[in-house]
């Protein structure tokens, strides 16, 4: 009987920790949305690391956050009230605006930009 009570206490602490993490992420999502005139998002499972919350602002700005689990990411997105997409394609992906930094770092080598030296 004591083991069950301890297990319930640990589960309760983990649930409370997950809820606090979701609330913090929701606050960050809200701040991003406010800074970019609104936002939309998509959840991408990235393995044991957790789940990436990809955010795209109405102005084309983008960013991401990482949640420790899909459930925490889903809860954070729901709390933030932003529109969520099932996949990152079509009209949603077309909203992303990239700048010189992205071209240099992510595609620079392929399109003749400066080589990334380690």
Tens digit of each residue's pLDDT (9 = 90 or more) over 48-82: 989 999 999 999 999 999 999 999 999 999 999 99
Q: Which helix (H) or strand (E) holds 19?
A: helix 2-35
Contact 95, 40 (CB under 8 A): yes
Higher pLDDT, 92 or 111: 92
**CA terminus-to-terminus distance, the chain:** 57
pTM, two decimals, is 0.78
pLDDT of 1 reads 47
């Amino acid at each position: 009987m004591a083991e069950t009570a301890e297990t319930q206490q640990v589960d309760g602490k983990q649930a409370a920790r997950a809820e606090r993490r979701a609330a913090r992420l929701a606050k960050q999502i809200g701040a991003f949305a406010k800074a970019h005139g609104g936002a939309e998002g998509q959840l991408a499972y990235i393995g044991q690391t957790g789940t990436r919350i990809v955010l795209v602002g109405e102005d084309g700005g983008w960013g991401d956050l990482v949640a420790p689990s899909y459930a925490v990411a889903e809860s954070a997105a729901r709390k933030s009230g932003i529109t969520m997409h099932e996949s990152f394609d079509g009209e949603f992906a077309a909203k992303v605006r990239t700048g010189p930094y992205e071209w240099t770092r992510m595609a620079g080598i392929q399109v003749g930009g400066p080589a990334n030296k380690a």
